[in-house]
């Protein structure tokens, strides 16, 4: 595999291989892993804001000994009218091995790979495209679940919030489906449900939370929502929020997840976000490992 656009490119065997590589990286001294991709260069182009994904890709690349450059788009020549295609070809001429791209338009990374494939061996990694996919977030979420629960197919996993606009939900639900889970549930106001999904639709918050092994809370993607009535927004926490009271419906050892950034008091209370069942910061930690594992697999398959 040269590029990663969508988690659906990976089958069970490929996912398991990535998890095992992440385990190996975790258990190998950094002085050793730094030799694995020495001399390779990763270039990040983030056309949307990011904290976790951008920084963890930088740390992931550096952990493998790669050079990493994040183009500051606000100060780049895209502001003088240079097209994305010309920007990519320019950076590729500087011997880039991996482009890590986040963009507000769905499928931009596929287009980028199409332009680059005629010129270079560079891999393109989707760091989030519009409302479509965020495959590395899906990978780190699955890796975190695997670490705590060991297997996937018997778990009840509930994803709650703005599912329709969430590329995180898209990749996680698809990943769980690939791994054989048929007990994934989504819950949102009707206006924020996707047209189609391999997950089951819960009829209520109670149904979504009842006996859940994993609960994934999502923020409202206000930057992508064209219209949502103010009543729904004003009463979000009461109807779609996770708190110390309703979490009791889930299993005692439920894992509480959130991809971040969180809106405390809206989709999740601070008590739960900072509570003993929360693995939110562990997800962040695992992001570095999974992104290292992905870079290692993509760039090694190119040699």
Indicate which residues carry an active-site annotation: 52-53, 80, 102, 134
Give the nearest distance from C-beta 231 to ligand CP in angstroms.
28
16: tokens are 């398991």
Provide CB contacts within 8 A for 72, sequence distance 6+.
none
- 241-280 mask for ligand CP (x: CB under 6 A)? ------------------xxx-------------------
Q: Which is closer to ligand CP, CB of 21 or CB of 137?
A: 137
Q: Which of 11, 28, 38, 51 binds ligand CP (CB under 6 A)?
A: 51
Q: Are strands 157-160 and 98-103 parallel, antiparallel or unpaired?
A: unpaired
Give the nearest distance from C-beta 262 to ligand CP in angstroms.
10
Alpha helices in the chain (DSSP H): 12-26, 30-33, 52-63, 84-92, 108-117, 135-149, 167-178, 205-209, 230-234, 236-240, 270-273, 280-300
Q: State the Cα–Cα distance between residues 25 and 279, nearest whole angstrom.
A: 20
281 is a contact residue toward ligand CP (CB under 6 A): no
- 102-121 mask for ligand CP (x: CB under 6 A)? --------------------
Q: What are phi and psi of 123, to 5 degrees?
A: -85, 150
Q: Are strands 214-217 and 255-257 parallel, antiparallel or unpaired?
A: parallel
Give the nearest distance from C-beta 139 to ligand CP in angstroms.
12
- Quick one: which segment of 46-54, 61-69, 193-201, 219-227 binds ligand CP (CB under 6 A)? 46-54
- 169-208 mask for ligand CP (x: CB under 6 A)? ----------------------------------------
Q: State the Cα–Cα distance between residues 287 and 10, nearest whole angstrom.
A: 18
Q: Which is closer to ligand CP, CB of 261 or CB of 275?
A: 261
Q: Which is closer to ligand CP, CB of 50 or CB of 120?
A: 50
Give the nearest distance from C-beta 125 to ligand CP in angstroms.
13
Cβ pair 159, 186 in contact under 8 A: yes
Distance separating the N- and C-terminal Cα atoms of the chain: 12
Place of tokens 């656009």: 5
Q: Which is closer to ligand CP, CB of 48 or CB of 271?
A: 48
Report, in this order, helix, strand and coil percent for the chain, each rounded to 5. Answer: 45, 15, 40
52 is a contact residue toward ligand CP (CB under 6 A): yes
Give the nearest distance from C-beta 237 to ligand CP in angstroms.
21
Give the nearest distance from C-beta 259 to ligand CP in angstroms.
4
Q: Which is closer to ligand CP, CB of 116 or CB of 273?
A: 273
Residue 260: which of 221, 231, 292 has the closest Cα? 221
Q: Which of 21, 126, 137, 166 binds ligand CP (CB under 6 A)?
A: 137
Question: Given the rule CB under 6 A, which residues bind ligand CP?
Answer: 50-53, 128, 134, 137, 259-261
């Amino acid at each position: 595999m040269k590029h990663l656009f969508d988690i659906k490119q990976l089958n069970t065997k490929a996912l398991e291989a990535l998890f095992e590589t992440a385990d190996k990286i975790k258990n190998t001294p950094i002085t050793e892993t730094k030799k694995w991709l020495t001399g390779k260069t990763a270039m990040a182009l983030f056309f949307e804001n990011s904290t976790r994904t951008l920084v963890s890709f930088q740390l992931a690349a550096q952990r493998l000994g790669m050079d990493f450059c994040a183009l500051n788009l606000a100060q780049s020549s895209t502001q003088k009218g240079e097209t994305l295609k010309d920007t990519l070809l320019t950076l590729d001429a500087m011997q880039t091995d991996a482009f890590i791209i986040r963009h507000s338009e769905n499928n931009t990374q596929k287009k980028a790979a199409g332009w680059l494939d005629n010129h270079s061996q560079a891999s393109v990694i989707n760091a989030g495209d519009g409302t479509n996919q965020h495959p590395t977030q899906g990978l780190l979420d699955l890796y975190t679940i695997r670490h705590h629960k060991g297997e996937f197919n018997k778990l009840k996993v509930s994803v709650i919030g703005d599912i329709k606009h969430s590329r995180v939900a898209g990749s996680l639900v698809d990943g769980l489906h690939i791994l054989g889970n048929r007990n994934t549930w989504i819950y949102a106001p009707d206006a924020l449900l996707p047209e189609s999904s391999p997950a089951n639709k819960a009829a209520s918050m109670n149904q979504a939370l009842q006996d859940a092994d994993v609960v994934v809370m999502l923020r409202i993607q206000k930057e992508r929502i064209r219209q949502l009535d103010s009543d729904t927004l004003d009463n979000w926490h009461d109807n779609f929020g996770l708190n110390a009271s309703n979490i009791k419906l889930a299993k005692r050892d439920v894992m509480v997840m959130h991809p971040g950034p969180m809106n405390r008091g809206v989709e999740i209370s601070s008590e739960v976000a900072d509570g003993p069942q929360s693995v939110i910061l562990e997800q962040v930690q695992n992001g570095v490992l999974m992104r290292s594992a992905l870079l290692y697999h993509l760039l090694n398959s190119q040699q």
